[in-house]
Structure 1
Amino acid sequence: MTYVIDIHTLGKEAFCTPGRAGTTLKDIFESESIPKVFFDVRNDSDAVCYHFGIKLAGIQDLQLMELTTRRIQLHRKYLFGLSKCVEGDLSLTIAEIRGWKETKEKGLNLFAPERGGNYEVFNIRPLSDAVMQYCIQDVQFMPKLWRQYHSKMTRLSSVKVQAASRERVALSQTKDYNGKGQHMALAPVSLR
């Protein structure tokens, strides 16, 4: 099951309101001992740090996990995007891939300015079904991708991914961080 937390409506309260055990989302996000899975954590880390003062820790970056499990090491200079990972590494049917792509296209058409969309669709309440499905669909494949990559990792590659994930988070929280550009497609030197 996937839960969507409405940060637009709740704002900082989404991160600092304690649950029954007294733990907040901020506590969870900043805990090194609670694993959190992201696909390319950099821009998400930048956003929660800049807007809410959250310093992510305990990150397992699926993009880096995929990189270390590639069979041919010569192909480790560039990172794969989530689409390539979902389509290439999960055993999805043609119908599942088609549905996934259609949902992605609908979402992009709604919010991507270069397609005539507008990011304001994320601020309209209630969220449209198309926007909600767009938000949910990528996350729903992350557990399967994690299992797929984790099963192929060695202890050494796991340690390297953890270190590279920490480096990504630290870099994303600097004032000079630039989350757009061709440099984002380059694999960390430590994992090539």
Structure 2
Amino acid sequence: MITKKGRYRFVVISPLLGLAFKFPILHPLKAFRLAWRLVQQKDYKYLWIMITWPINSPDIRGYGDLMFGAIWVNWSEFMFFWKTRHPFLQPTYFSFFGLLNIQKAGAPCVIKEKVLCDALYDIAGETIFDDPHHLTSPGNYCFDNGKFRIIDYGSKMTYRMILESGEKVMAFFSKPPQ
């Protein structure tokens, strides 16, 4: 078993089963403490901003994001795969309403970050800056039977690059069958 932790999810990878299990990381206590502090300070304007701040915002994490952002990311990843069946996406087989995602496991990406970023920019152009955290990190990609695939695509900011350039990126980095 291999474990990994990101901003939104905790992942358990079973090489034996060939599956990755993605669990959301929820922060209800952090949200409550922040809200309580703002109420004590009578900072109701900022409290309202935090309540209404959109989930999965790249800027700051509001209460909705702290409470439900990880579930939303899991569910978005599952729905995007099932709606598009895009070949660049590592398949997400199942989601239990975002509380658990089951994805096909792949071999870790060993491409250096600079090499990846330079090639992605040459192929996909400025779309990699829609979500540079996800799109330029080698840890968000894998190899599956020699095919280069993205494994972390729950953020809607990744969709444009995937839909416009994903197949070209996959073809560029994929290894020929052995």
- TM-score, normalised to structure 1's length? 0.24
Structure number with greater CO (CA < 8 Å, separation at least 6) is: 1
